[in-house]
Amino acid sequence: MSESRFLPNFEPIAPFSRLTDSGILDSGESPMSDDAVLEALRYMMLTRVFDDKATSMQRQGRFGTFSSVRGQEASVVGAASALDPTKDWIVPQYREFPALIRHGYPIENFALYFMGNPKGGTIPPNVNMLPMQISLAAQIPQATGLAWGLKMQGGDGVVITFFGDGASSEGDFHESLNLAGIMKAPVIFFLQNNGWAISTPRENQTAARSFAERAIGYGVEGVMVDGNDLLAVHEVTKQAVAKARAGRGPTLIESVTYRTGAHNTADDPTRYIDQQELEKWQQKDPVERIKNYLRSRGIWNENLEQELLDSCAAQIDAAMEIARNTPLATSDALFDHVYAEPPQRMLDQKRDWANRNGDAR
């Protein structure tokens, strides 16, 4: 066939990037100031410290099942650093610790959540985020609805929702993109393609050559970005935020990265991950890459690294101390924070529960 009627062609496409694997910037101008990069790197380092702490807490039986961000730090922080916490909203999945902390969610709440204390799920009133979502893709329609609502209220806030390649196979993802495209809702669908949905590899998730291109079917712009390149992720997210703020609708960002840790603390990836593939991605470690970039700018050295590590460790320790000293929840806390104004049937259930449980512990 010389002239095919069929779309599209399937030539491989490369993600947008700004840094080489060893952290050298291309010939253009950096989209982030040195101070902004340093701040972002601190969030990435803070995440590593927290991930190690949380994993060890889980091993001691003091934390529930926990999913680390390992390997995806540039992806999450690059996206979050393009947001204005005073007006933009985050609608998370469960692997976005640094984005939530930068937005104002207290680390101790995050810890309490994994300690099974409902207090952890409470979001301070000035923090623009919805709760973490474990049921895959269930948050995506909410992000579209929230963005559409913000638009109707006449403000210029933007919503970003995070999810994985696995979640993108759920109907919720497709329905949300479709509606967001029609309504020109100010929402960014931030799909972290980390290679895996637990043990299901990316190639079993879709026959499409990219996840980003799925946007086209909904009249939405899509972009594929190197998720281990902080500068590139920040740049495309910033563009998507500016576009949404200006009333020009949603964007699907596919952030191509790799989960270099386990899916969560209940997973053993050595049973299914190819060691060579893992090592290839470890060479592109996002934290080392951005440190190399700062080294090439002459502003990174061992003293600064130690200083940052110490301050991250102190910050995590202080938050853990608060979480440890928070009284255990009584079981009637189950009924709190479910409705702003609890309906009568819930008040009845709460009273019955208290009558049956004495002090309701």
CB atoms within 10 A of CB 242: 12
Site membership for ligand TPP, residue 71 (CB under 6 A): no
CB of 196 to ligand TPP, least distance (A): 5
Q: Given the rule CB under 6 A, which of 142-150, 163-171, 304-312, 340-348 is the region that contacts ligand TPP?
A: 163-171
Site membership for ligand TPP, residue 214 (CB under 6 A): no
Q: Given the rule CB under 6 A, which of 195-203, 207-215, 246-254, 272-280 is the region that contacts ligand TPP?
A: 195-203
Per DSSP, the three-state class of 320 is helix
Amino acid at 336: D
Q: Which of 68, 81, 109, 194 binds ligand TPP (CB under 6 A)?
A: 194
105 catalytic? Reply is: no
Site membership for ligand TPP, residue 136 (CB under 6 A): yes
- 327/31 Cα distance (integer angstroms): 45
Of these residues, 18, 102, 259, 289, which one is catalytic?
259
Contacts of 324 (CB under 8 A, 6+ apart): none
CB of 205 to ligand TPP, least distance (A): 7
Site membership for ligand TPP, residue 166 (CB under 6 A): yes
**77/319 with CB nearer ligand TPP:** 77
Query: Phi and psi of 90, rounded to 5°?
Result: -110, 130
18 catalytic? Reply is: no
Inter-residue contact 281 to 260 (CB < 8 Å)? yes
Considering CB under 6 A, how many residues would be counted as binding ligand TPP? 16
Site membership for ligand TPP, residue 96 (CB under 6 A): no
272 catalytic? Reply is: yes
CB of 15 to ligand TPP, least distance (A): 17
Of these residues, 59, 248, 272, 295, which one is catalytic?
272
Q: Which of 164, 249, 250, 286 binds ligand TPP (CB under 6 A)?
A: 164
C-alpha of 321 from chain center: 25
Q: In the chain, where does DSSP find H-type helix?
A: 34-59, 73-80, 97-103, 107-114, 139-153, 171-183, 230-245, 275-282, 286-296, 302-324, 344-357
Per DSSP, the three-state class of 227 is coil
Site membership for ligand TPP, residue 204 (CB under 6 A): no
CB atoms within 10 A of CB 58: 17
Bridging pattern class, strands 187-193 and 251-256: parallel
The full DSSP string for 237-248 is HHHHHHHHHTT-
Per-position x/- string for 249-268, each x denoting binding to ligand TPP as judged by CB under 6 A, each - no binding: ----------x---x-----
Of these residues, 103, 214, 234, 263, which one is catalytic?
263
The residues that touch ligand TPP, with contacts defined as CB under 6 A, are 95, 134-136, 163-167, 192, 194, 196-198, 259, 263
